[in-house]
Chain A
Amino acid sequence: MILHKAKGTRIEGKKSMSKALPLHEYLNPPFVFIPLLQQATPLKRIVEIGDKVAIGQVVALREGFGAMPIHASVSGTVTAIKKVWHASGRMVEAIEIQNDNQNRMDESIRVQTDISLLSRNDLIAKMQQAGLSGLGGAGFPTYIKYQTKCPIDVVIINAVECEPYITCDFMLINAYPEKLLKGLSYLMRAADAKKGVIAFKTYNTDIKKNLEPLLVNYPGIELYEVKDIYPAGWEKYIVQKITKKTYAGLPAEAGAIVDNSATAIVFADVVAENIPLISRVITISGEGIKNPQNFFVPLGTPVKELIQLAGGYVESLNPMKAWYIAGGPMTGRAILIDELVVNDTLGSVIVKPMPDEKHHPACLGCGKCADACPVYLTPTEIQRALESKDSQAIKELNAQKCMQCGLCSYVCPSHIEISDYVAKAKELLRKGA
């Protein structure tokens, strides 16, 4: 149908900035801070100040829905419980661990010898024990997705990374192509799926070059190229493209499970060596950073140290006239103080000078926001309904479908915060319901 063809908008990638330098491993920061928050769920701390911890030792528990353990990412001593800035834009309590640089491993970390004997349930249990969560940015506990009752045909690895600046998945895949395929084959076993697909953007020819020769050893895995548009990395978009099926709630309804490439790579280690989720790759980029690059770091590393390793801020940077963005530039959050720590959902930190302020005219009604919307909303109408507090109209206009990709604000020629109105309308619906 002409009205519902998949679409997106081309946005300048600016990815070459952080691709120039190789992946920088920074495994032993003097201190790490494990935030006591996973997604929006507060964690229960199970270590006390003064306790000695080893890498991979459980230090906190997520309880209730999505229950799973959270592990220490370095070995050392718990020295304090203090508040740190978190990617959610708030200050949260964190366990401060002083690194003793001895890299002592917890006894749970050992090489798994009987991988081929592990059943589907064993693999799912391993995901839970490893505290594996979606590393793409949502942080959803992975094992929940694999406990689905729906039959799964295909596991899709989302390596699209459609937001500008971010290259962390790209760097990680090119560093560990074999691990990605291994991780995916384990994920397929955990889902009883016959097929695995790795989706990436067409211009990422390096990924193709690195993965293609290895595919012969992994039957059932294929590569899938998506167009260089935003939001091509949107889960629904990829699932619709690959399975040709649509769904309302979860991809499992269309027989698919989608995981981030970094999650698959971590899962390869989880299965082979029982190493839980303790590290990730993060992109430090933006016009405000001297040498933008990617870092492989233990979770809880202060971002400040990484920025220093990346040469610090450029001299001309005036922080009051710049943004410090946790996450991608399209969906991320402005953090007011540069005391952020790396957590599982933080894929990038972008430091970017603000553009010059201009006077912008009122909405001229060009309708570019409605044109750009990937879920075919009419943001101007939602704004109108919001201003008159008409929650019935907001519901009819399907504001709940909005995934906050930010494209409407991006294309607005009058610089109106139109996606903010839609987000507020969505909020109003949630409160009303």
Chain B
Amino acid sequence: MARFANGKAPFLRKADEKTYGTQVIMRDFLIGLLPLIGFAWYKNGIKVYIEGNATFLEMFYPIIFIILGGIISMIIEGLFFIITDKEIRSFKSLMNRLSLSYAMIPGILLAMILPLYTPIWVLIFGCIMATLVAKLLFGGFGYNIFNPALIGYAAIAFTLMGVINRAGGALNGSEVLVDAIAGATPLSTLSTTNILSYQTLVAPYGSLWNFFIGTIPGALAETSALACIISFVWLSARKVIKWFVPVIYIGTVFILSWLIGIISGQTGIWFPTYSILSGGLMFGAIFMATEPVTTPKNPLGKMVFALFLGVFTVLFRFVGQYPEGVATSIIFMNIFSMPIDKWTGVIRTEGVTKKTIIKIVILVILIIAIAAYALFKASSIYTATIELPLIMRGWN
């Protein structure tokens, strides 16, 4: 007679495999960031150095800045655990705890969406807001309601943007020298001029191809759509994110931007393309809108969430005069993850029945109403300049 251990079915767990589990998901997520970090280094470091506008040491600054973000976050979380958690007695148990709460991720993400010349103390402030306020005070990894990195970003954006701009802002050593750019990112140009014109919105930065590659001014690591798409393919293939979330989000923004263009008299396909390639939309859609903790859990909920994000981003971007929209809409929608999850959980299992039809109708009406409002308002704000034929340009 032998006594055996107790256990609960199922006795097979995929998480027992070495190649599966939350650790692996997080590792894959970090690997997914590499194309962007690599591009950020190329654009703001290597390229500037080659053009002779940065010293050799300055070339490494973008990488150091991103790593610094991760380290600061880890230190903050480590200190928090030392102060609050009685079970942490040794360095080893502290590191163990930190590895289970993925402390470095908010800091890395935050550093990636800040301008290049953000002073380090501003980064520290952002990391405190991200890690301490948005994550740890909510209960730590798995319990936070808002996306930590975006809360850090929002806190900086609302209070310290002036400091960042005085310190050098988003423009790297080479971009500063280009007159046409005049210290503005593509979206801020749009919000100051209110004119949908290829000449003022795209031409100063070269062409839309530059938008796609990412050689336009903007935050440190979010400008390259190409790098984002590479990450997107990797993360989807590794099943870290659901492929349809970014697709629905970006697709909604594309269609609504196109409609705004058409209403304003600008029918070109360049405008919606410009819209989805600027302002960190790609980055937000792939890394922030898919963040598992703060978004709905079930697939239908994720779809609804992404749709709302698209609609709100357009609303905030084109109607609100704040030239972003992505961060605000994601933070705003984070609040509604839980109710969306609850509703879509019911809709998903029930299908379209008498019990769920009211919920479905309310969701659909909400989305359509917000989208219609955004279109209506935007059409009264923006005008399009009709580009004159080349031959007439010299005359006026």
Max chain B CB contacts within 10 Å: which of A313, A378, A407, A420? A378
Least distance between B203 CB and chain A CB atoms (Å): 42
Q: Chain A residues with Cβ under 8 A from B1's Cβ?
A: 337-339
A317-342 interface bits toward B, Cβ cutoff 8 Å, 1 = contact, 0 = none: 00111111100011111111111000
Q: Chain A residues with Cβ under 8 A from B344's Cβ?
A: 378
Tell me if B341 is interfacial: C-beta within 8 Å of chain A.
Answer: yes
**In whole angstroms, how far apart are the Cα atoms of A329 and B294 in the complex?**
33
Residues in B155-200 with C-beta less than 8 Å from chain A: none
Tell me if B43 is interfacial: C-beta within 8 Å of chain A.
Answer: no
- Determine whether the beta carbon of B298 is less than 8 Å from that of A323: no
- Determine whether the beta carbon of A410 is less than 8 Å from that of B300: no
Q: Chain B residues with Cβ under 8 A from A361's Cβ?
A: 22-23, 100-102, 141-142
- Determine whether the beta carbon of A364 is less than 8 Å from that of B341: no
Q: A354-B5, A381-B341 are in contact. Are A366 and B351 (CB under 8 A)?
A: no
Q: Which among B6-14, B72-80, B316-324 touches the partner chain?
A: B6-14
**In whole angstroms, how far apart are the Cα atoms of A336 and B1 in the complex?**
10
Least distance between B63 CB and chain A CB atoms (Å): 27
- Determine whether the beta carbon of B140 is less than 8 Å from that of A337: no
Specify which of B7, B12, B102, B342 is in contact with A410 (CB 8 Å cutoff).
B12
**In whole angstroms, how far apart are the Cα atoms of A363 and B22 in the complex?**
9
**In whole angstroms, how far apart are the Cα atoms of A382 and B292 in the complex?**
18
- Determine whether the beta carbon of B5 is less than 8 Å from that of A334: yes
Tell me if B268 is interfacial: C-beta within 8 Å of chain A.
Answer: no
**In whole angstroms, how far apart are the Cα atoms of A364 and B295 in the complex?**
10
**In whole angstroms, how far apart are the Cα atoms of A17 and B8 in the complex?**
23
Q: Chain B residues with Cβ under 8 A from A322's Cβ?
A: 4-5
- Determine whether the beta carbon of A370 is less than 8 Å from that of B15: no
**In whole angstroms, how far apart are the Cα atoms of A369 and B297 in the complex?**
9
Q: Chain B residues with Cβ under 8 A from A358's Cβ?
A: 16
**In whole angstroms, how far apart are the Cα atoms of A313 and B2 in the complex?**
11
Q: Which residue of A lies closest to B239 (CB)?
A: A368
**In whole angstroms, how far apart are the Cα atoms of A235 and B263 in the complex?**
55
Q: Chain B residues with Cβ under 8 A from A396's Cβ?
A: 346, 355
Q: Chain B residues with Cβ under 8 A from A375's Cβ?
A: 349
Tell me if B293 is interfacial: C-beta within 8 Å of chain A.
Answer: yes
Q: A164-B12, A333-B9, A410-B14 are in contact. Are A359 and B298 (CB under 8 A)?
A: no
Tell me if B380 is interfacial: C-beta within 8 Å of chain A.
Answer: no
Max chain B CB contacts within 10 Å: which of A381, A396, A412? A381
- Determine whether the beta carbon of B100 is less than 8 Å from that of A319: no
**In whole angstroms, how far apart are the Cα atoms of A191 and B392 in the complex?**
88
- Determine whether the beta carbon of B10 is less than 8 Å from that of A319: no
**In whole angstroms, how far apart are the Cα atoms of A84 and B142 in the complex?**
45
Tell me if B3 is interfacial: C-beta within 8 Å of chain A.
Answer: yes
Q: A322-B4, A381-B342 are in contact. Are A365 and B9 (CB under 8 A)?
A: no
Q: Chain A residues with Cβ under 8 A from B295's Cβ?
A: 365
**In whole angstroms, how far apart are the Cα atoms of A24 and B41 in the complex?**
67
- Determine whether the beta carbon of B349 is less than 8 Å from that of A414: no
Least distance between A165 CB and chain B CB atoms (Å): 9
Tell me if A417 is interfacial: C-beta within 8 Å of chain B.
Answer: yes
Interface size counted on chain A using CB atoms at 8 A: 68
Tell me if A376 is interfacial: C-beta within 8 Å of chain B.
Answer: yes
- Determine whether the beta carbon of A362 is less than 8 Å from that of B140: yes
Least distance between B86 CB and chain A CB atoms (Å): 17
- Determine whether the beta carbon of A401 is less than 8 Å from that of B4: no
Specify which of B24, B25, B297, B355 is in contact with A378 (CB 8 Å cutoff).
B297
- Determine whether the beta carbon of B13 is less than 8 Å from that of A331: no
Least distance between B122 CB and chain A CB atoms (Å): 29
Specify which of B4, B15, B341, B351 is in contact with A360 (CB 8 Å cutoff).
B15
Q: Which residue of B lies closest to A378 (CB)?
A: B345
Tell me if A177 is interfacial: C-beta within 8 Å of chain B.
Answer: no
- Determine whether the beta carbon of A413 is less than 8 Å from that of B349: no
Tell me if B52 is interfacial: C-beta within 8 Å of chain A.
Answer: no
Q: Which residue of B lies closest to A331 (CB)?
A: B9
Least distance between A366 CB and chain B CB atoms (Å): 5
- Determine whether the beta carbon of A419 is less than 8 Å from that of B7: no
Tell me if A397 is interfacial: C-beta within 8 Å of chain B.
Answer: yes
Tell me if A172 is interfacial: C-beta within 8 Å of chain B.
Answer: no
Q: Which residue of B lies closest to A401 (CB)?
A: B349
- Determine whether the beta carbon of A409 is less than 8 Å from that of B13: yes
A175-190 interface bits toward B, Cβ cutoff 8 Å, 1 = contact, 0 = none: 0000000000000000
Tell me if B299 is interfacial: C-beta within 8 Å of chain A.
Answer: yes
Q: Chain B residues with Cβ under 8 A from A420's Cβ?
A: 8
Specify which of A333, A360, A364 is in contact with B293 (CB 8 Å cutoff).
A364
**In whole angstroms, how far apart are the Cα atoms of A194 and B253 in the complex?**
56
- Determine whether the beta carbon of A324 is less than 8 Å from that of B4: yes
Q: A334-B11, A354-B5 are in contact. Are A367 and B297 (CB under 8 A)?
A: yes
Tell me if A355 is interfacial: C-beta within 8 Å of chain B.
Answer: yes
Q: Chain A residues with Cβ under 8 A from B300's Cβ?
A: 3
Least distance between B276 CB and chain A CB atoms (Å): 25
Tell me if B385 is interfacial: C-beta within 8 Å of chain A.
Answer: no
Q: A319-B2, A320-B5 are in contact. Are A360 and B22 (CB under 8 A)?
A: yes
Least distance between B81 CB and chain A CB atoms (Å): 14
Least distance between A212 CB and chain B CB atoms (Å): 32
Given A330-B10, A334-B8, 14 additional A-B pairs, CB 8 A: A323-B5, A332-B11, A336-B3, A336-B5, A355-B16, A361-B141, A362-B141, A367-B298, A367-B301, A367-B302, A376-B348, A382-B345, A413-B25, A420-B8
List residues of B whose CB falls within 8 A of some A CB: 1-16, 20-25, 96, 100-102, 140-143, 242, 292-302, 341-342, 344-346, 348-351, 355
**Interface pairs (13), CB distance under 8 Å:** A333-B9, A334-B4, A334-B8, A338-B4, A352-B11, A364-B25, A365-B142, A367-B301, A378-B345, A409-B8, A410-B12, A413-B20, A415-B15
